[in-house]
Chain A
């Protein structure tokens, strides 16, 4: 047991050091454009965390991420750009957005989860298409193909985020908060219930888990996370339009989550950064980029279906086994005496 804890501690410390150095170093060495891309990676990570909850912990494949991102984005856009005659402050509008999304996502979840898992997935595809269609065409609420611009940037107690560097720090804080919140789920009844639904549904039933409601709750949480990411996107880019919320985009978030290790938020954060940053670093190979990406996804599924987090865990386990075997050889006589 001690060896076990030691391993986990080491990997946590490594992650902490890497994260802190990244946060300290990144803003100094990157120019405005690159900073924006990094910020995008952080924003998309929050949406991918929603996939973590629904798919990683709960085992249900939902494509609804972009629908809710759009909801959050347009909600904030309408209320902070003056379009509707109101300009709200950032914190109030975010709180209002979270409440609205909770209601909407919960209601949609109640309806969708009456369907069995494969049908549910198809229904979420339908949801994405319907929402995208409206985001693209319904001008009064969504600005049509031109989208909505002049969205106010993040503003808290008079401090406004004026450039991408300031946004970076704000986003880091938000990402950390969300990571903490999502990781906490895994240690609570909700997380255990979802894992039971994912891994052994019949056991879940006989253990008193209300499968339907638990799934709806997870869907709501995933929706709120996606909407939050959408809201941040809107405030960061100060512009939103429907091409961010297509079916292709939603598959990207799922891929980010799978790359990271679908139920591990730290891995997903890395995955999101990789997926967002690599195209920029490999600018020179622009043409082959998507091809490499597509092939990499296939290879990822073949060789590393548990993602980066899975890779780390399995390496850790192999190390632990080697250490444990050595310990056993050393103390075998001691153990027999105890028995």
Chain B
């Protein structure tokens, strides 16, 4: 199966610090791919490089085997790269409906004129309701986004990204700040995303519970370099990885 996302010798430096050092791996459609490493290993940098917020210093990024290395980030989003952030990025002054509509806008890509003259965003509310069934909370469409808790926002950000019908989603530390129930819900959500919708998932996480449970492949970064790659079983018994940081979390 062709990989939906492929990194080839991706490199990035900030001044004298090399944050990404010839990193190469690929993600298949419908695959849940983990990206782990100690703090400062360069995981978020990789995500920023894939989504186009940083420009590469070396190497290439391929989406569905199309070279997107030099394409600006908004075009990458339109081609199907979805993204969530460690701290959810919503518009604080808008309500929940408008915030979610941003995701749908991306799917529809009507252009401003069509949207102005009344073309409705098709099936939007039903689609959201469908996703919300997997989660444990409800909201009012016209409520301010500030009414939701941190945990709810993290889950909602994944839904916003799903609304844009992406080909691959980059999820950055979904479990951080969530309670156990919410973590279960998010894992279920990510499973559905990958298996039912066939979206490739690249997942940054520190919670070994989640990583070992749902990831099929894991890349391990340390100091910007890829030090191991393989299934959860392979990675957890890898000497280099254990040495780097896995040791603390043996009670999974």
Direct contact of A and B (CB under 8 A): yes
Q: Interface of A with B (CB < 8 Å)? A: 1, 4-5, 184-185, 188-190, 192-193, 195-196, 199-200, 202-211, 214, 217
Chain A residues with CB under 8 A of B115: 188-190
Contacts A1-B140, A1-B142, A208-B78; A196 near B102 (Cβ below 8 A): yes
Chain A interface secondary structure, helix, strand, loop or mixed? helix
Task: Report whether A195 and B98 are in contact in the complex, using a CB–CB cutoff of 8 Å.
Answer: yes
In the bound complex, do residue A193 and residue B105 qualify as a contact, i.e. CB atoms below 8 Å apart?
Answer: yes
A119 to B52, CA, bound (A): 24
User: Is the C-beta of B185 less than 8 angstroms from some C-beta in chain A?
Assistant: no
Which residues of B, 100-123, contact A by the 8 Å Cβ criterion? 101-103, 105-106, 109-112, 115-116
CA of A21 to CA of B75 in the docked complex: distance in angstroms? 50
- Which one of A188, A200, A209 lies within 8 Å of B74 (CB-CB)? A209
Q: Is the CB of B109 within 8 A of A208?
A: yes
Residue in contact with A185 in the complex, picked from B73, B89, B116, CB distance below 8 Å? B116
Partner of A188, one of B82, B91, B112: B112
30 residue pairs bridging A and B, Cβ less than 8 Å apart = A1-B140, A1-B142, A188-B112, A189-B110, A189-B111, A189-B112, A189-B116, A190-B115, A192-B105, A193-B105, A193-B112, A195-B91, A196-B91, A196-B102, A203-B89, A205-B74, A205-B77, A206-B52, A206-B73, A206-B74, A206-B77, A207-B74, A207-B102, A207-B103, A207-B164, A208-B77, A208-B78, A208-B164, A214-B112, A217-B112
Given contacts A185-B116, A203-B90, A205-B53, 6 further A-B contacts (CB under 8 A): A188-B116, A189-B112, A189-B115, A192-B98, A207-B77, A211-B74
Closest to B114 in A: A189
Which residue of B89, B101, B141 contacts A202 across the interface (Cβ within 8 Å)? B89
Q: How far is the CA of A195 from the CA of B91 in the complex (A)?
A: 7
Contacts of A210 in B (CB 8 A): 74
Q: Tell me, in angstroms, the Cα distance from A205 to B71 when the chains sit together.
A: 12
Give B231 Cβ to nearest chain A Cβ, in Å.
Answer: 30
Assess whether B106 is in contact with A207, with CB atoms less than 8 Å apart.
yes
Q: Contact check: which of A184, A200, A205 meets B91 at CB < 8 Å?
A: A200
A203→B172 CA distance, assembly (Å): 14
- In the bound complex, do residue B105 and residue A199 qualify as a contact, i.e. CB atoms below 8 Å apart? no
Nearest-CB distance from A34 to chain B (Å)? 37
If A190-B116, A206-B77, A208-B74 touch, does A195 touch B105 (CB 8 Å cutoff)?
Answer: no
Indicate if the CB atoms of B142 and A4 lie closer than 8 Å.
yes
Measuring CB to CB, which residues of chain B are less than 8 angstroms from any residue of chain A? 51-53, 73-75, 77-78, 81-83, 85, 89-94, 98, 101-103, 105-106, 109-112, 115-116, 140-143, 164
Q: With the chains together, A196 CA to B103 CA distance in Å? A: 11
A245 to B136, CA, bound (A): 57
Q: Are B53 and A202 in contact (CB under 8 A)?
A: yes
Which residues on the A side are within 8 Å of B142 (C-beta)? 1, 4-5
B81 neighbours in A (Cβ, 8 Å): 206
* Chain A residues positioned under 8 Å from B143 (CB to CB): 4
In Å, the complex CA distance between A302 and B89 comes to 28
B92 touches A199 (CB 8 A): yes
Residues of A within 8 A of B110 (CB): 189
Q: Which residue of B lies closest to A190 (CB)?
A: B112
- In the complex, the chain A residue whose C-beta lies closest to that of B107 is A208
- Nearest-neighbor residue (CB-CB) of B82 within chain A: A206
Complex interface: chain A residues within 8 A of B103 (CB):
207
Is the beta-carbon distance between A1 and B91 smaller than 8 angstroms?
no
Shortest CB-to-CB span from A89 to chain B, Å, is: 28
B105 CB contacts on chain A under 8 angstroms = 189, 192-193, 207-208
- A206→B140 CA distance, assembly (Å): 25
Report chain B residues within 8 Å CB of A207: 74, 77, 102-103, 105-106, 164
Taken together as a complex, chains A and B put the C-alpha atoms of A211 and B74 apart, in Å, by 8
Q: Which residues on B sit within 8 Å (CB–CB) of A205?
A: 51-53, 73-74, 77
Residues of chain B within 8 A of A189, CB atoms compared: 105, 110-112, 115-116
CA A209 – CA B109 in complex, angstroms?
10
Q: How far is the CB of A338 from chain B (nearest CB, A)?
A: 11
Residues of B within 8 A of A193 (CB): 102, 105, 112
Contact A192 B101, beta carbon cutoff 8 Å: yes
Q: Could you say which residues of chain A place their CB within 8 Å of the CB of B73?
A: 205-206
Task: Give A35 to B11 CA distance when docked, in angstroms.
Answer: 68
Q: Do B98 and A199 touch across chains, with their CB atoms under 8 A apart?
A: no
